[in-house]
Structure 1
Amino acid sequence: MDLVGLIALNLSRNNLTGPITPKIGELTSLDFLDLSRNLFSGSIPSSLSQLSGLGVLDLSYNNLSGKIPLGTQLQSFNASVYAGNLELCGLPLANKCPNEESTPSPGTDDYSDALEDEDD
């Protein structure tokens, strides 16, 4: 079945489990994607970044984890799109991923200390 022309997909509140299939990224005409309030687990597939025309996204209240894919419009959505996924991290969420180090800003004591450490 060819769903390439599909513009809206609402699978919310269906108790769907497992990972979100990366094949969703092949639905390049999608403007609306709602996968909220299911039991999806694992990371957000990077293929979702291929949905450049996506205007509405809702992945809230699943069991998603890991980092929101970088460099995509997935980071431009409001944080509420990802609400209820306690193990998700990265922009636009306030919680940073465990492997992200905060870089001190120039003009702060921490920045000066970081420069001195590099000289050692």
Structure 2
Amino acid sequence: MTTPDNERRRFTRIDFDASTELQKGDHLYMVTLVDISFNGILVKSDTPLKLALGDEALATIRLQGDDVAIRTPVTLTHQNEQEYGFLIENLDLDSLTLLRRLVELNLGDPTLLERELDHFFATDAH
């Protein structure tokens, strides 16, 4: 029997609108953040990104101007038309703290947050 994606998903996607950019070498792409989780981000771009599956980039998600931002290396894992899905590779402590607070505010349930953090710290990729 096939399990729907939402049942297999270990990390809740948070719909969030924030100024977001991706940097790959000398290229800087301004994109629209669709959603974010402890596992990755989904962005939308009106112009095609010159990225291939497996390419790494640096994502900057500005929560409050330039002062408060999540900065993390990401890897392109899937692309569908104008949407690009990236796996978060390594969050520094400041970015992890900001993402944790963002998830906490949107989940509204400390039990769900603890479950997500358990999954996050249990994965080998982090």
Does the alignment reach a TM-score above 0.5? no
Provide the TM-score with structure 1 as the length reference.
0.25
Provide the TM-score with structure 2 as the length reference.
0.25
Between structure 1 and structure 2, the one with the greater Rg is 1
